[in-house]
Amino acid sequence: MDAFRIVYLGIPLGALALSHDGLCIAAACISRPEFPGMRRLRAALARSSAPLFARPDLADADLQRLLRSSKPSLIVSYFWHRSVPAEIRSMAPLGAIGVHPSLLPRHRGADPIFWALRQGDETTGVTAHALDDGYDTGPVLATRSLAIDEGWNAHALAQALDRPALALLRDVCGRFASGQRPAAHPQDEALATSAPEPTEEDLEIRWALPADQILRLVRAAAPAPGAFSQYRDRTLTVLAATRSTVRLDPGDAAILDEGVVVGTADQAVRLDLVRLDDEDELLRGPAVASALPGASDLRGRS
């Protein structure tokens, strides 16, 4: 494995895991130096005199020359979240690979977790793939699947994908290092979907939709940036909600014994956790009523 050298791009824990496996990190470019593991990675690379860069510009010619001089066998991207220039991808004889948190070609793009939840997918996963000129379009090397729990929000799903993503990274890189290069399978363009960063329009709650669709949006956007709705002159960000058996007209709000509910196309949803405007304070349960002055108070009625 000593002759096998990696130029690593991504978060610290991926580089630490590969180093722990005995793989040589010839140079590392870290996308999120504030993430856990940066101090340990800095110490580990210092022992081998491997250069470490925090949020570098991969298009910089001087950086490219330095990375090329490290003589990498493979370029590895793990939550780099930006395109990798061809000059970087082509400097290693084994090419460049990345790990993406979806089952490609479904949900190509910057926020596959949001769209998997928003569209009600029952299963997602992680994909190791070759990097090319497109965004998440390169041939698939390996995948791991994960069933989505119906109660997960975006944070919970991201956490659930952490372990299989890291395991896949280690497995694929280990196979490259041992000379067992994984077979590459082109993606089926007919199955491709896009997963861009959600826009304000994507995040706005439309109460005329069925409750299930609204609840999926709330989960997909929580805890940040959050799904939102305008109430009078206020912006209400809904971070957690539950289906209610009450029936109200879409958009009508009522304060009930069970909490604050808002009508949808078919039933209603209970607002369990909200943030008002841009304030830091979170309102839970009965306290949500203070954010909806004028809502019908129906407490105590059967």
**Best CA proximity match to 102, nearest among 134, 133, 136:** 136
> Per the confidence metrics, is the pTM higher than 0.75?
yes
Tell me how far apart the alpha carbons of residues 197 and 181 are, in angstroms, rounded to a whole number: 33
Query: In this structure, are 187 and 204 located in the same domain?
Result: no
Domain finish residue from 131, 166, 191: 191
Q: What is the CATH number of the domain that holds 276?
A: 3.10.25.10
Predicted pLDDT at 1:
45
Tell me how far apart the alpha carbons of residues 18 and 4 are, in angstroms, rounded to a whole number: 12
Whether 162 maps to a domain, the answer reads yes
Phi, psi (rounded to 5 degrees) for 255: -100, 115
Distance, C-alpha 209 to centroid of its chain? 25
**What is the bridge-based pairing of β-strands 282-284 and 268-276?**
antiparallel
Using DSSP's 3-state secondary structure scheme, residue 254 falls into strand
Helix (H) / strand (E) element for 112: namely helix 112-118
Predicted pLDDT at 137:
97
CB 240 within 8 A of CB 258: no
**Best CA proximity match to 82, nearest among 30, 128, 39:** 30
The pair of structure tokens assigned to 205 is 């709650």
**What is the bridge-based pairing of β-strands 52-54 and 74-78?**
unpaired
Query: In this structure, are 31 and 112 located in the same domain?
Result: yes
Domain finish residue from 174, 191, 208: 191
Predicted pLDDT at 291:
87
Predicted pLDDT at 102:
98
Query: Tokens 């791009």 map to which residue?
Result: 9
Q: What is the CATH number of the domain that holds 178?
A: 3.40.50.170
pLDDT string in tens for the chain (302-residue length): 458 999 999 999 999 999 999 999 999 999 999 999 999 999 999 999 999 999 999 999 999 999 999 999 999 999 998 899 999 999 999 999 999 999 999 999 999 999 999 999 999 999 999 999 999 999 999 999 999 999 999 999 999 999 999 999 999 999 999 999 999 999 999 999 999 999 999 999 999 999 999 999 999 999 999 999 998 888 999 999 999 999 999 999 999 988 999 999 999 999 999 999 877 889 998 899 988 888 888 887 65
Whether 302 maps to a domain, the answer reads no
Question: 105 in the Ramachandran plot: left (φ > 0), alpha (ψ -120 to 50) or beta?
Answer: alpha
CB 254 within 8 A of CB 240: no
Whether 143 maps to a domain, the answer reads yes
Query: In this structure, are 129 and 176 located in the same domain?
Result: yes
**Best CA proximity match to 98, nearest among 169, 27, 29, 161:** 169
Predicted pLDDT at 231:
87
Residue 207 belongs to what domain range?
A: 200-297
